[in-house]
Amino acid sequence: MPHVEIKCFPGRTEQQKALCAEKIAEVLAETWDCKMSSVSVSIKDVPKDRWKEEVWDAQIIADEPHLYKKPGYTYE
């Protein structure tokens, strides 16, 4: 606990992903007062042409009551 899953368009390097995961884990450990060893982070590439179906509709809209940071874009 906790586990964070990040979905993004392809294009980031493995080094960028590793750095991002490390920084997120550090912030969580500090903010939630837990050990770094308790934090896990996954990063999954989702092609742009599948974003609306796989992420926007299935996760952002479906989980909107649980979003603490909402996106600044829409699919209207």
Active-site positions read 2
- Give the pair of three-digit tokens for residue 18: 């590793």
Q: Are 47 and 9 in contact (CB under 8 A)?
A: yes
- Give the pair of three-digit tokens for residue 14: 């493995």
DSSP structural state of residue 73: -
